[in-house]
């Protein structure tokens, strides 16, 4: 089943890099949607269903923390896993994002393998796979 993905990052270069990594990951990617900040991403989510969300933290207009809070407050999006992709990998920031509801965390810069592993882990957990 192809994976529909929403990539939220204020850097177009980072969005296309993540997109290329996904294309090369061996995972079957369906629709690839992109937003430059949280508010734009929420608008997309009003119209389109995705299987997983990858979000940056530091963005204008609506940052990743506000976006994550909004996603987790919406019942219809409760089952959609959110993976944070950020340069901010301090323990307190990671803990905060995970406590707000993020299912995974990838530190920039990351290798394609790392992003893929984290996505596979998150999707397996959210689809009820047990380890």
Binding site for Mg ion (CB under 5 A): 10, 56, 58
Contact yes or no for 108/15 (Cβ under 8 A): no
Of the pair 26, 60, the CB lying nearest Mg ion is at 60
Torsion angle of alpha carbons 112, 115, 116, 121, nearest 10°? 160
Of the pair 62, 123, the CB lying nearest Mg ion is at 62
Q: How far is the CB of 112 from Mg ion (least distance, A)?
A: 19
Q: How far is the CB of 124 from Mg ion (least distance, A)?
A: 28
Of the pair 5, 84, the CB lying nearest Mg ion is at 84
CB atoms within 10 A of CB 24: 10
């Amino acid at each position: 089943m192809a994976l529909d993905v929403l990539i939220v990052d204020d850097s177009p270069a980072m969005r296309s890099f993540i997109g290329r990594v996904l294309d090369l990951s061996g995972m079957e990617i369906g629709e690839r949607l992109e937003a430059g900040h949280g508010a734009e991403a929420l608008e997309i989510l009003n119209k389109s269903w995705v299987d997983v969300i990858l979000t940056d933290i530091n963005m204008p207009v609506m940052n990743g923390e506000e976006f994550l809070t909004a996603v987790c407050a919406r019942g219809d999006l409760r089952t959609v896993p959110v993976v944070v992709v950020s340069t901010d990998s301090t323990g307190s920031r990671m803990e905060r994002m995970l406590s707000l509801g993020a299912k995974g965390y990838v530190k920039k810069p990351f290798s394609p393998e790392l992003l893929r592993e984290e996505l596979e882990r998150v999707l397996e957990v959210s689809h009820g796979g047990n380890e």
